[in-house]
Structure 1
Amino acid sequence: MQGIGGPELLIILVIILLLFGAKKLPELAKGLGKSMKEFKKATQEVQDDFQEAMDAVDTDKKPATPAKDAPAEKSVPKKVPES
């Protein structure tokens, strides 16, 4: 199957012009442009969220190695109040 060529595109545009009229075409084009802008924005947000999630997973996988000179942390028992 080949792509849409010049004559086919012209026929489609004439059919659209006949269906909607010359006055409605600018409104339709404006609506289509807004829709495409919102779609691109939404896909970019999804890609950003996915990348953030992947970065978070990568940082969780890295083992935390304590520094050799750092003292080890001691656990301090909690005091229980007497009743």
Structure 2
Amino acid sequence: MLRNGLEPWHLLIVAVVFLLLFGTRKLPDTARALGKSMRILKSEAKAMKGESGTPGPVGGPAAEPTAQEPPPAAG
């Protein structure tokens, strides 16, 4: 009976239930909000994983590029 888990007709039933519950107007907004929440969760998990005990940006020690002066011209 349940040897493969979800079959295509199960997914169809779930899609119809979502359409009936949320309607066609709220479904895109709900999906957008869910995607935004997932992005926030992913970035926070990455920040926690990259945290090494020192405060600072997640990207590395140099958060802002430093301005370098060009070498003096010979002449």
On whether the aligned pair clears a TM of 0.5, the verdict is: yes
Report the TM-score, using the length of structure 1 for normalisation: 0.55
Distance 1:8 1:36, change over 3 A: same
- Name the structure where helix makes up a greater proportion of residues: 1
Q: Which amino acid aligns with 1:36?
A: M
Q: Which of 1 and 2 has greater Rg?
A: 1
Q: Which has the higher contact order (CA 8 A, sep 6+)?
A: 2
Matched length: 51
Indicate the SS of the match to 1:21: helix
Q: Distance in 2 between matches of 1:31 and 1:3?
A: 28
Q: Which runs of 4+ in 1 moved over 4 A?
A: none
CA RMSD of aligned residues (A): 1.5
1:42 alignment counterpart: 44
Gaps of 5+ in 2: 54-75
CA distance, structure 2, for counterparts of residue 43 and residue 3 of structure 1: 29
